[in-house]
Structure 1
Amino acid sequence: MKSDYLFVYGTLLKGFNSYMSKFLDKNSEFVGEGYFNGKLFEVSWYPGAVLSKIASERVYGHIFKIHDHIKTFKILDDYEGVGEASTEYPNEYRRELIETFLNDGTILRTWVYLYNNPTDHLRLIASGDYLKES
């Protein structure tokens, strides 16, 4: 299944001062703020999220519409450590298509980078909002 939407919750957030946040801003259109059902953890200087079936557990972030799906996701996949070919942290994240919610209630199928390792040793970001915690 294909989607041109991406949900971000960490260093790719709009306004976050990073090279990759600026790259995403140049290669997409900001759609709005929203959330998905999940838990957010502090991995290192960056967060990682996992899915949850509990409606009250939410990860908050921004949704973007990607302009050039193939080019942009190739660069983002490498940055996020998706796949064996990733240079620094292979398979640290996986890109998955999930149901997300804009703050106005609109439901979108978006790609999201989910943390792909155990979380039991990581600190939970209880608010689900990385910008509030950083």
Structure 2
Amino acid sequence: MSENLLSYLFVYGTLLKDVDNEMSSFLHSHAVLKGKGYFYGKLYRVSWYPGAVISDNTSEKVFGMVYKIENPKYVFRVLDDYEGIGALYPKPHLYKRKLIDTFLNNGTQIKTWVYLYNQSITDLHQIVSGDFLEN
């Protein structure tokens, strides 16, 4: 995989620029916003934070933002730790980082990394709008 492909991240929850926290600030100081967009999926309220899963239904969308990460090896190491991914965390991890197809609002399709929820969604409340900030 090229370094360029490895450097895009789609965020839909606590890493969004309108969410005021340390990790959101960290991301914005190490990335360039490429635009708003979506991927085909379902969004759920896990707790004070959301979790998203992939969907094959193109009418189900999770909305968020795409960033181009500067220094991806460093930034993803920090974000993986924030998302509870890695050898230090018990399995199954709460999230998994996966490369998926996302779409910018201007119609451009782009491969991005996204943190997908990696637990059961059975008892979770779905955020039907697909937008964490509007729920």
Aligned pairs, number: 132
The amino acid of 2:96's aligned partner reads: R
Partner of 2:64: 61
2:115 counterpart letter in structure 1: Y
Matched-pair contact (CA < 8 Å) for 1:33–1:61: yes
Distance 1:86 1:75, change over 3 A: farther
Q: Give the one of 30, 33, 40 matched to 1:30.
A: 33
User: For the aligned residues, what is the CA RMSD?
Assistant: 1.4
Q: Distance in 2 between matches of 1:41 and 1:108?
A: 23
What's 1:126 paired with? 128
Q: Are the equivalent residues in 1 in contact too, given 2:92–2:119 (CA < 8 A)?
A: no
AA matched with 1:114: L
Q: Which runs of 5+ in 1 are unaligned?
A: none
Measure how far apart 1:90 and its partner are. Answer: 6.5
CA offsets per residue over residues 11-30 of structure 1, 9 Å max, x none? 00012111100000000001
Q: Which aligned runs of 4 or more in structure 1 are off by greater than 3 angstroms? A: none
The equivalent of 1:99 in structure 2 is 101
Instruction: Show structure 2 runs of 5+ residues with no match.
Output: none
| Percent identity over paired residues | 52
Write the distance in 2 (CA, Å) between the matches of 1:41 and 1:70. 28
* TM-score after normalising by structure 2: 0.94
- The TM-score, its normalising length taken from structure 1, stands at 0.94
